[in-house]
Amino acid sequence: MAPVTDALNGRVRGALTARLRRLRGFVDDTDPPALAIVAAMTLSLFATLVGFLAVSDLTIVPFVAFATSTAIGWVLYQEETAYTIALMMTVSTILILGLIIVFIFRESVPVIRYESATAFGVTVPGLRMFIQPNWDAVSPPIRYSMVPMIHGTVMVTLIASVVAAPLGVSAALFLSEIAPPTVREVIKPGVEILAGVPSIVYGFIGFTVLGPWASDQFQTTGQGSYLFVGIVVGLMALPTVVSVAEDALSSVPESMKSGSLAMGTTDWQTMTSITLPAAFSGVSAAVLLGVGRAIGETMAATVMLRGVPRLTEPLVNVFYGQETLTSIIARNYGEADGLQMDALFVAGVILFVTVLVISIGAQYIEWRMHERLGGEI
Amino acid sequence: MAGERRTDAKLVESETTETDAAAGAAVGLSAVLFALAVAALFERVSLTGSLFGVGTVTLLGGLLTALGVAVVAFGVGSRLGYVETDPDRSVGLVAGLGAALPWVVVGGSAASQTLGLGTAVGVVAGVAAGGAAFALTVLPCEDLGSTLPLGCLLALTGLVFLSGVIGPEWVWELGWTQQAAITAEFLIPASTLFAALYGGWASAKAYGGFGARGRHMGAYVLVYLNALSIVAFLLILVAYVAVQGLPGLLNGAELGLGSGPQTTVLGASVALPVSVPFVMNGVALFNDFQGVLPAIVGTVWLVVGAVVLAVPLGVGAALFLTEYAERGRFTQVVEVATNGLWSTPSIVFGLFGFAFLVPRFGNGKSLLSGMITLGFMLLPLVVITSREAMLSVPDEYRDASAALGVSKWQTIRSVVLPAALPGVVTGVILGVGRIAGETAPILLTMAGGTFLPGSQTVDVLGSFQFTTAPPFVANPALMEATSALPYQLYALISAGVGASSNVGNADEFRWATALVLLVVVLSFYAIGIATRYYFRRRLRHT
C-alpha cells in the first residue's frame, strides 16, 4: 500500500511542480502591469462567482470590477487579456458540469436520508427507494420508490434501441458508403432536420394520433403504452445514431476499402468484412449515444404516458405505459415541494449519472478506435 | 454441382433472362405488399372491406402465398440447376438468426395459443421451430438456405389468412391483469409487413443469382428501403402537422394593403399588408381571433439570451483548446466534460436551473433563468462545432501568419477566427434550432401562464431601469415568468379541452401552435443548412 501512495504522492507533487514552474514562467515573461490586470480580472471574476453562489445583492460590484479590468486590459495588453479570457471560458465549461453535479446531488440528500433501509444490519441511505415498488406522496406511509420509473425507463429505452440501432446503422451505411452524392445531399440534411423536430411535437402527435389508435388496436383501458413511447423515442434517437455512426464509418481509411474492392469483392462484402468491423467500436459508440438520448427524452414520454407511478402487470406488459424517470419530473415539479421535490431530484441524479457514464464510455470507445486506426482525433 | 457451375460463370452478366424478370416481379410484389401493409396499419385500407373485388385479408393472404411459392421455387430451381446461379456454401449465421426469429414466434404462439397447449409447451415448440429454421437456413447450400425457410414462412402466413384461421375479427386476449389484447387489426398488417421484408430480401437475392452478388442485392434492397422510409417519415410528419395546423393558423387571416396591425418601420408608422391574427394577437376576452404572439416573442428572447451567453463562452473555450492549450490532461478533461454536458438530459438542465438559478433571481421563475439554462444547454454544442471548425483551418495559414512576425493573438484574430467563422456560424444556427424547441428545461425555470394576453408580450429592451439599491440595474421583463412556444403547446396538451375553451376551437388552436413551433424551429435548420451550402460552394469556387 505504502509504495503505491508514495508513487501517487510523487506524481501529484510532480504535476504540481510542473504547474508551478509554468506559472512562474508566465509571471516572469509577462510585464508587471499586464500581470496586475490579469490578476485583477481573475480575482474579481472569482469574487463574482462567490457572490453569486452566496446569493448576494452585491455581486454586481466585483462584476463591474471584472468588466472594467477586462476593458482596460483589452486596450493596453490585448494578448494577455485574450488568453486569460479564453482560459476562463474553458474553465467555465468544467465549472458548469461541476455545479450541476453539486446542486442536483445536494437537493436530493434529504429524501435519500428519509428512505434509509437496513440491509444485513447496516443502515443504507436511500436503499428503500430501490427495494419496494411503492410511490405514494399523499397518504401515509409516504414512500418515494424509484423502481416503477426505472422499470419504465428501461422498457422505453429497450424498445427505442431496437428501433434506433438497426435503422440508424443501416442509414449511416447508406449515407457513408452507398448513396450517390446527389442522393446523399438530400438525405443528410433530412436526417439533420429530423433531429430538429421538437420533442413536444412528437409527443403531441403521439398523444392525439398514436395514443387513441394504439389503445383501440390493443384493446387497453385508456391510452399510453411503453411500446409506442419507445417507438417514438427510438425515432427521436435515430438522427444521433445516424450522424455519429456515419462519422465512424467515414473515418475508416479509404485505402482499406479500396484494397478490399481490388480483390474483386462486391461493395456489400467490403462493408460487412472491412468497413463495419473496422468501425465497429465507433458504431457501437453511436448506438450507446443513441441509448443515452433515449434515456433522457422527456416531453414525448410525459405527454404520452399515463402519469401513474406503478409497475405494469405483468412486468412485460408493454401495452401500458405508467411513468419514466424523466416524465415524473416534468409532470410533478409543479405541485411538488419538500421531500417529493427532493425525490424528483433523485430521479434527476439517476438520469444524470447513467447518461454521463454512457457518454464517457462512448468517448472511450471512440478514442480507442481512433488510436487503432491511427487517424488524427 | 455448385463448384462445377462456378467454373463456367460469366465475368459479365448483362442479359436479362426470364428468371431475372420473375425475380424482379417478386421484388415488386413484396413492395406492393409492404405498401398495402403500411396502408392497412394506418387504417387507410379497411381489413373488413375489399380491394379489387376481393376481401382485403384474402387478397393479402393470396399475395403472400404466391410470393412464398415463388421464393421457394427460386431456391429449388437453382438447386436443381434449372436456373443459372452462383450460390455460396452457406448463408451465414446472421441470416440464420434472422430466419429463426419469426419461426420462434410462429411456433411458440401456434403451440401455446392456437392449439392451447400452455406456455411451457409453447416455449419448447418455439425453440424447436426456430432451431429447425436455423438449421434449414445455415446447413444447406445458400440458394436453398435463404429461400426455403422464408418461403415456407410466407406461404404459411398467406394460408393462415386465406383459410380464415386469422380473419378480420380475430382477437387474442392476453389475459393480463392490465387488460390487453392483440387484434387482427394489428397482427395482419404487422405480419404482412415483416413477411414482405423477408420476401423482398429473398427475391432480391434470387435476382442477384445468390452468392456475393445476391447478398449485395438483398442487402441493398433493405438499406435503400430504410433510407427512403426515413425521408418519407420526415415528409409525412411535416405535411401532417401542416395540414392539421393551417386552418387554425389562417383563422381570420387577411391579405391586402393596410389590413395588418400598425408597426413602426424606420420611424414611420405603416400598416403591414398582411394580417395573421394567430401570430399577431395574444389571448383576450374581446379578441375576434386568439393568438400566440407572447409565446413567439418569449421564444425569440429565450434564443437571443441563450446565444448571447453561450456563443462567446463556447467560442472562447474552443479557441483556448485548439490554439493555446497543449494536448494533455486538462484538454482531455474539458473534452469529456463538454461531451458529458452535450448528452446530459434536458430535464436535468431544468432541475439544475430550478435549484441553482431560480433562487438567485428573485425566487420565482423568470425569463432570465430560462435564458441561462438554455445557454448552458447550447454551450457544449458551440464548443464542439467551433472546435471542429478551428481544427479544420489548415496549419499553413497559422504558419504563414506567424512567419510575418505577428503575435499569436493577432494570428488568431485575423487568420484563424475568420477562416473558422462559417463552421462556427452553421453550428450555432443548428444548435439554436435544437434549443428553440426544448420544453423540459424551461418548464422548471421560466414557464408561466398559457393564455397570455397580447399586452403581456415581453419587451426586454424597453424595461431596463436603474435602481438605488444593489444591484443598481433592474429589468422586470427579465425577472418575470413568460411563455414560449414549446411550453405553450405542452400546457395546451396537459390542460385538456376544458381549460382552453376560451380560445374557441381548442383542437385547431393546438395544431396551429404545433405548426408555428415546427416552422420556427425548422426555419433555423433551413437557414443553418443553407449557410453551410453557401460557404461550401464559395470555398469550392475560390
Chain B residue closest to A332 (CA)? B444
Subunit contact A196:B434, Cβ cutoff 8 A: yes
Strands A135-136 and A122-124: unpaired
Q: Is residue B49 one of the residues assigned to a domain?
A: yes
Select the highest-mean-pLDDT range: A217-226, A239-248, B281-290. A239-248
Residue B331 corresponds to which cell in the numbers above?
484538454
> Scanning the structure block, which residue is given the C-alpha cell 455519429?
A244
Residue A213: CA count within 13 A, CB half-sphere: 15
Is the ipTM reported for this complex over the cut 0.90?
Answer: no
| C-alpha to C-alpha distances, A11 to A17, A243, A248, B193, B427, nearest whole angstrom | 10, 40, 35, 62, 39
Q: What percent of chain A has pLDDT over 70?
A: 96
Q: What is the dihedral of CA B183, B187, B188, B190, to 10 degrees?
A: 140
Q: Is residue B431 one of the residues assigned to a domain?
A: yes
Q: B-contacting residues of A 215-244, CB under 8 Å?
A: 216-221, 235, 238
**Shared domain check, B534 and B423:** yes
Q: Is residue B104 one of the residues assigned to a domain?
A: no
DSSP H or E segment with residue B97: helix B93-109
Subunit contact B471:A269, Cβ cutoff 8 A: no
Q: Is residue B354 one of the residues assigned to a domain?
A: yes
| Other C-beta atoms lying within 10 Å of the C-beta of residue A137 | 16
Look at chain B and report how many structural domains it folds into. 3
Q: What is the pLDDT of residue B50?
A: 77
Q: Is residue B111 one of the residues assigned to a domain?
A: no
Q: What is the pLDDT of residue B421?
A: 87
Subunit contact A57:B470, Cβ cutoff 8 A: yes
Distance CA B126, CA A365 (A): 37
**A-chain residues within 8 Å CB-CB of B336?**
360, 363
Residue B309 corresponds to which cell in the numbers above?
451567453
**B-chain residues within 8 Å CB-CB of A83?**
320, 324, 409
Subunit contact A167:B226, Cβ cutoff 8 A: yes
Interface test with B, best of A41, A48, A96 (most B CBs within 10 A): A96
Q: What is the pLDDT of residues B174-215, one digit of tens each?
A: 778 778 888 888 888 889 999 999 989 888 888 887 878 888
Subunit contact B316:A86, Cβ cutoff 8 A: yes
Q: Which residue type sits at B16?
A: T
State the average pLDDT over residues B64-88.
84
Q: What is the pLDDT of residues A131-143, one digit of tens each?
A: 888 888 888 888 8
Q: B-contacting residues of A 167-186, CB under 8 Å?
A: 167, 170-171, 173-175, 178-179, 186
**Shared domain check, B272 and B236:** no
**Shared domain check, B433 and B380:** yes
Q: Which of A104, A102, A130, A105 is nearest to A115 (CA)?
A: A130
Q: Is residue B98 one of the residues assigned to a domain?
A: no
Q: Which of B307, B426, B320, B438 is nearest to A94 (CA)?
A: B320
| Closest residue to A79, CB basis, from B354, B407, B472 | B407
State the average pLDDT over residues B368-376.
91
Subunit contact B320:A269, Cβ cutoff 8 A: no
| Helix ranges restricted to H, B169-292 | 184-207, 211-249, 277-280
Helix axes A339-373, A325-332, angle to 10 degrees: 140
Write the CB contacts of A216 (distance below 8 Å, at least 6 apart in sequence). B185
Interface test with B, best of A64, A90, A157, A210 (most B CBs within 10 A): A90
**Shared domain check, B426 and B354:** yes
**Shared domain check, B338 and B205:** no
Integer Rg of chain B from CA: 32
* pLDDT > 50? residue A221: yes
**Shared domain check, B344 and B437:** yes
Q: Is residue B314 one of the residues assigned to a domain?
A: yes
| Closest residue to B334, CB basis, from A94, A267, A351 | A94
| Closest residue to A193, CB basis, from B317, B355, B525 | B525
**Shared domain check, B374 and B310:** yes
Q: Is residue B126 one of the residues assigned to a domain?
A: no
Please give the interface size between A and B, counted as residue pairs whose CB atoms are below 8 Å apart. Answer: 295
Q: Which residue type sits at B72?
A: V
DSSP H or E segment with residue B342: helix B329-343
**Shared domain check, B81 and B25:** yes
Q: What is the DSSP string of B134-173?
A: HHHHHSS-HHHHTTHHHHHHHHHHHHHHHHTSS-TT-EEE
Confidence (pTM) = 0.87
Boundary of a domain, candidates B244, B264, B299: B244
**Shared domain check, B264 and B211:** no
DSSP H or E segment with residue B466: strand B465-466
Query: Structural domain of residue B240, as residue ranges?
Result: 2-90+140-173+180-244
* pLDDT > 50? residue A304: yes
**Shared domain check, B325 and B293:** yes
Q: What percent of chain B has pLDDT over 90?
A: 12
Residue A66: CA count within 13 A, CB half-sphere: 17
Q: Which residue has the higher pLDDT, B342 or A137?
A: B342
Q: CATH code at B442?
A: 1.10.3720.10
Write the CB contacts of B398 (distance below 8 Å, at least 6 apart in sequence). B411, B415, B416
Average pLDDT of chain A, as a whole number: 86
**B-chain residues within 8 Å CB-CB of A222?**
none
CA angle A187/A188/A191 to nearest 5° reads: 85
| Helix ranges restricted to H, chain A | 2-29, 32-53, 60-76, 78-114, 128-131, 147-173, 181-196, 199-205, 211-217, 226-250, 254-262, 267-270, 276-278, 280-296, 299-304, 325-332, 339-373
Chain A residue closest to B217 (CA)? A268
**Shared domain check, B301 and B271:** no
Q: What is the pLDDT of residues B225-281, one digit of tens each?
A: 998 899 899 999 999 999 998 888 887 776 666 666 666 655 666 666 677 777 777
Q: How does DSSP classify residue B482?
A: B
**Shared domain check, B297 and B212:** no
Q: Which of B378, B359, B383 is nearest to B369 (CA)?
A: B359
Q: Which residue type sits at B129?
A: A
Q: What is the dihedral of CA B378, B379, B381, B385, to 10 degrees?
A: 130
